[in-house]
């Protein structure tokens, strides 16, 4: 059985700052004919499961225009142009900008967020041995953030109540629960 879909034609729809949009005409495998694939191309992002010396998890409260709601998430940020291959530095930058912390980073997972139509890949790091940066880089000037430091139990309650409904944050919290926490 063959799986690959060969591109016959790509139609570029949009070339933005955050993502590009294209529609591909593809040749299906196994003589199944042709189909169209609507696609989003994104540079990727980093996110950081940030654990303080007293085992609290750092969450960022922010407004998300796509869902028109407040969201609680682990610190994260898009890769800038040319940052492919230096994701760890990007993660340290985002950690400092969003939380004022620096620390030791360990790569936990890489995952595609919306694999059906989008190539955004997020690298998830664990940040430990946190220290406050004396004069941290400022937050992006179009972001309004508020920080919280919560126990794993408090975080898991926010998942259950639906206040945390961000996939990367749920992955990070589950990882923490599996490796460092009690059972939930």
Q: Scan residues 16-35 and list those touching a copy of itself (CB under 8 A).
A: 16-19, 21, 23-24, 26, 28-30, 32-33, 35
- Binds a copy of itself by CB under 8 A, chosen from 43, 56, 78, 93: 78
Shortest spacing between CB 28 and a copy of itself, in angstroms = 6
Q: Where are the beta strands (DSSP E) in 2-145?
A: 6-15, 19-27, 34-42, 45-50, 57-64, 69-73, 76-78, 101-112, 121-132
Shortest spacing between CB 84 and a copy of itself, in angstroms = 15
162 binds a copy of itself (CB under 8 A): yes
CA distances from 117 to 36, 37, 46, 57, 166 (A): 11, 8, 19, 31, 18
- Binds a copy of itself by CB under 8 A, chosen from 51, 76, 127, 155: 76
CA distances from 105 to 44, 49, 101 (A): 18, 9, 12
102 binds a copy of itself (CB under 8 A): no
- Contacts to a copy of itself from residues 119-158, by CB under 8 A: 119-122, 141-142, 144, 146
């Amino acid at each position: 059985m063959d799986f690959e879909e060969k591109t016959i034609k790509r139609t570029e729809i949009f070339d933005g700052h955050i993502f590009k949009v294209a529609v591909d005409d593809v040749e299906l495998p196994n003589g199944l004919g042709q189909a169209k694939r609507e696609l989003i191309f994104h540079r990727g992002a980093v996110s950081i499961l940030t654990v303080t010396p007293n085992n609290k998890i750092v969450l960022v409260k922010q407004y998300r225009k796509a869902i028109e709601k407040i969201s609680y998430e682990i610190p994260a940020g898009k890769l800038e142009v040319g940052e492919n291959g230096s994701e760890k530095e990007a993660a340290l930058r985002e950690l400092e900008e969003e939380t004022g912390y620096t620390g030791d980073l360990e790569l936990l997972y890489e995952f595609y967020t919306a694999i059906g139509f989008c190539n955004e890949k997020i690298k998830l790091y664990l940040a430990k041995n946190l220290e406050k940066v004396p004069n941290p880089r400022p937050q992006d000037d179009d972001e309004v953030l508020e920080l919280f430091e919560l126990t794993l139990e408090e975080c898991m309650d926010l998942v259950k109540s639906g206040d945390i409904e961000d996939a990367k944050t749920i992955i990070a919290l589950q990882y923490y629960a599996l490796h460092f926490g009690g059972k939930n």
